[in-house]
Chain A
Amino acid sequence: MDIEAHERTVRSRIAEATDADALRAIEREYLEKGGVVADLLASIPTLPPTERKAAGQGANALKRAVTEALESRRAALDGAQLEAELAAPDFDPTIPARPLDAGSLHPITQAARRLEEIFSSMGYHVLDGPEVELDHYNFEALNIPKDHPARDMQDTFFVSASGDRSDTSGALVMRTHTSPVQVRAMERLEPPFRAIAPGRVFRQETTDATHEHTFHQMEGLVVGDGISVAHLIGTMKTFLREVFERDLDVRLRPGYFPFVEPGFELDARCPFCESGCRVCKQSRWIELCPCGLVHPNVLRAGGIDPERYSGFAFGLGLSRLVMLRYGLDDIRHLMGADVRFLEQF
Chain B
Amino acid sequence: MLISYRWLARHVDLEGLDAHRVAELLTLHTAEVEGVEPFAPALSEVVVGHVLERVQHPDADKLGVCRVDVGAHAGGTEPLQIVCGAPNVAAGQKVAVARIGSVLPGDFKIKKSKIRGVESVGMICSVRELGLGDDHDGIWVLDADAPVAAPVGTPVAAALEVDDWVIEIDNKSLTHRPDLWGHRGIAREIAALTGRALRPLDTALPTPSGAATVQVDVQHPGCSRYVAVAIDGVRATESPRWLRMLLLAVGQRPIDLLVDTSNFVMLDIGQPNHLFDRRALGGRPIVVRGARAGETMATLDGVERALTTDDMLICAGDEPVALAGVMGGAGSKVAEGTTELLLEVACFDPSVVRRTAARVGLRTDSSTRFEKHLDPLLPLTAAGHVVQVLRSIQPDVTVAGPVVEGGTWTDPTRTIDVRPQRVRHLLGTPVDDERIASIFESLDLAVERRTPDTWRVTVPARRATKDLTIEEDLVEEVGRVLGYDTIVSTPMLAPVAPAPRDRRRELVRLLADRLSGTGRFHEALTYSFVDESLVSALGLGALPYAIAVNPVAEGMARIRRSVAPSLIGKLETNLAQRSEVRLFEIGKGTRPEQLDERGQPHEVHRLALVLARANASGSPSPSATLGELQTLLTDALGRTGAGAVDFVAAPVVTPDDHAWAHPRRRMAIQVGGSSVGLVGALDPRAAARLCDGADVAVAEVCLDALLELGLTPPSYRPIPRFPGVKVDVALATPGDRPAREVMDLIEKAGKGLVASTELFDVYRGEGLGDGRKSLAWHVVLQAADRTLTEKDQNTFLDRLERMATQAGAELRRQ
Contact = CB atoms under 8 A, between A and B. Distances in A.
Contact of A103 (B371, B487, B498, B520): B520
Contacts of A49: none
Interface stretch (A13-21, A59-67, A118-126, A268-276): A118-126
B32 interface: yes
Interface stretch (B142-150, B249-257, B599-607, B762-770): B599-607
B599 A334 contact: no
A249 to B, nearest CB: 10
Given A159-B549, A161-B592, A171 B599 contact: yes
B582 interface: yes
A262 B476 contact: yes
B224 interface: no
A231 B425 CA distance: 11
A119 B583 CA distance: 29
Contacts of B490: 228, 230-231, 233-234
A163 B592 contact: yes
Nearest to A119: B499
Contacts of A128: 504
Interface stretch (A30-38, A70-78, A86-94, A253-261): A253-261
Nearest to B569: A337
Contacts of A339: 522, 574, 577-578, 581, 583
B574 A160 contact: no
Nearest to B522: A342
Contacts of A150: 175
Contacts of A207: 552
Nearest to B512: A105
B551 A157 contact: yes
Contacts of B547: 159-160, 163-165
B200 interface: no
A107 to B, nearest CB: 9
Nearest to A165: B549
Contact of A224 (B27, B28, B494): B494
B528 interface: yes
Contacts of A134: 598-600
A106 B524 contact: yes
Interface in A233-290: 233-235, 237-238, 251-256, 258, 261-265
Interface in A305-345: 310, 334-335, 337-340, 342-343
A202 interface: yes
A116 B506 CA distance: 12
Contact of B524 (A251, A256, A337): A337
B475 A233 contact: no
Nearest to B573: A338
Nearest to A225: B493
A237 B523 contact: no
A213 B473 contact: no
Interface in A139-168: 146-147, 149-150, 152-153, 157-168
Given A147-B354, A262-B472, A153 B528 contact: no
B526 A337 contact: yes
Interface stretch (B67-75, B312-320, B426-434, B790-798): B426-434
Contact of B559 (A159, A251, A255, A296): A159
24 contacts: A103-B519, A103-B520, A104-B516, A109-B523, A123-B494, A150-B175, A160-B549, A165-B549, A204-B550, A213-B552, A214-B528, A229-B484, A230-B489, A231-B490, A233-B487, A234-B489, A252-B484, A253-B32, A256-B177, A262-B476, A265-B32, A293-B475, A337-B526, A340-B577
Interface of A: 101-106, 108-109, 113, 116, 119-120, 123-126, 128, 130-134, 136, 146-147, 149-150, 152-153, 157-168, 171-172, 174, 192, 194, 200, 202, 204-207, 213-214, 222, 224, 226-231, 233-235, 237-238, 251-256, 258, 261-265, 293, 295-296, 310, 334-335, 337-340, 342-343
Going nearest first, the 4 A-B pairs with the smallest beta carbon separation are A230-B428, A228-B428, A262-B476, A337-B524
Interface of B: 27-32, 172-177, 350-351, 354-355, 358, 371-372, 425-429, 470, 472-473, 475-476, 479-480, 484-485, 487-492, 494-500, 502, 504-505, 509, 512-513, 515-517, 519-529, 544-552, 557-559, 567, 570, 573-574, 577-578, 580-583, 585, 588, 590, 592, 595, 598-601, 603
